[in-house]
Amino acid sequence: MTTDSEHFQQIMTIMRRLRAPGGCPWDAEQTHESLKRYLLEESYEVLEAIDNGSDELLKEELGDLLLQPVFHAAIAEERGAFTMDDVLATLADKLIRRHPHVFGDQEIKDSEAQIANWEKIKKEEKGDERRSALSGIPPHLPALMKAHKISEKASRVGFDWEHVDQVMAKVIEELHEFEEAMEQGRQDRMEAELGDLLFAIVNLGRFLSLDPEEALRKTIARFQNRFSHIEDRLHATGRHLQDASLDEMEALWIEAKTRENAQ
């Protein structure tokens, strides 16, 4: 039986061959910088596979995603910076170090306490007590995800509302301020108030244990499905979107929504 370690070694051997002289020109040309976009693309394809519910598709997409750290480790190995073995050893050490309730004698009562302890250990590892409570958030995160993480970190140090009604009131307050900015016709203020409104909505989701990024992603998928229904129904009669009135498209939209809710 082939072990996980043997498969990993096989993949690393294949990657070294691809990047070696006489290998694949495209693979050999890649750098850490050039691969950045693929890391994002493959991550989102894993999300799509999870939504699809297919184990076969998820297995394939996880492999495609795993190719990215393999690629980066091979590039680093060529520079003498680190190897894949170093990456895995660092990860193993980190998991053991940050789970003292599993691999040590520390007691943790629940997942919330573990999250707080993880952050405490992480801060100690960085060796800088002056670091902001909001430090450690990747700057390239999507805006909704970044807003969620920032508000989570602020909440952990007590900077938060006490009740969901207060968060809802904040959303309504920000909506009114956005309406005022619209009445003034000032683009700069409208942008600022729209940002405040979105941030308040992110906090409302966080308070209700809802992931705003995931919620919006699913809304976009529903929009696409309903819009496709409109196109399909029109195409079935030999017509196109530009041939239909807004009222007709609205009726087909409602039809798609009704079918969706019935499933």
Determine, yes or no, domain membership for 236: yes
Determine, yes or no, domain membership for 224: yes
Better-scored residue on pLDDT, 82 or 127: 82
Encoded tokens for 64: 């495609």
Task: Please tell me what DSSP assigns to residue 81.
Answer: S
pLDDT at position 92 is 94
Please classify residue 187 by burial: count the beta carbons closer than 10 Å to its beta carbon, then call 0-12 exposed, 13-18 middle and 19+ buried: exposed
Q: Containing domain of residue 219, as a range?
A: 214-261
* CATH label of the domain that carries residue 196: 1.10.287.1080
Q: How many domains does the chain have?
A: 3
* Same domain, yes or no: 90 and 149: no
Q: Where are the alpha helices (DSSP H) in the chain?
A: 4-19, 25-29, 36-52, 55-79, 84-97, 100-103, 111-126, 143-156, 164-184, 187-207, 212-235, 246-262
pLDDT at position 116 is 82
Determine, yes or no, domain membership for 116: no
pLDDT at position 123 is 77
Determine, yes or no, domain membership for 75: yes
Determine, yes or no, domain membership for 242: yes
* Same domain, yes or no: 139 and 174: yes
* Same domain, yes or no: 13 and 65: yes
The yes-or-no verdict on residue 1 having pLDDT over 50 is no
* Same domain, yes or no: 52 and 39: yes
* Same domain, yes or no: 31 and 54: yes
Determine, yes or no, domain membership for 231: yes
Determine, yes or no, domain membership for 121: no
- Given 78, 98, 118, which residue is the final one in a domain? 98
Structural element, H or E, at residue 209: none
The yes-or-no verdict on residue 118 having pLDDT over 90 is no
pLDDT at position 130 is 52
Residues 120, 191: Cα–Cα separation, whole Å: 36
* Same domain, yes or no: 89 and 146: no
Lowest mean per-residue pLDDT among 77-86, 137-146, 196-205: 137-146
- Given 167, 184, 210, which residue is the final one in a domain? 210
What is the longest distance spanned by two Cα atoms in the chain?
71
* Same domain, yes or no: 77 and 152: no
Determine, yes or no, domain membership for 199: yes
Distance of CA 227 to the CA centre of its chain: 25
* Same domain, yes or no: 193 and 240: no
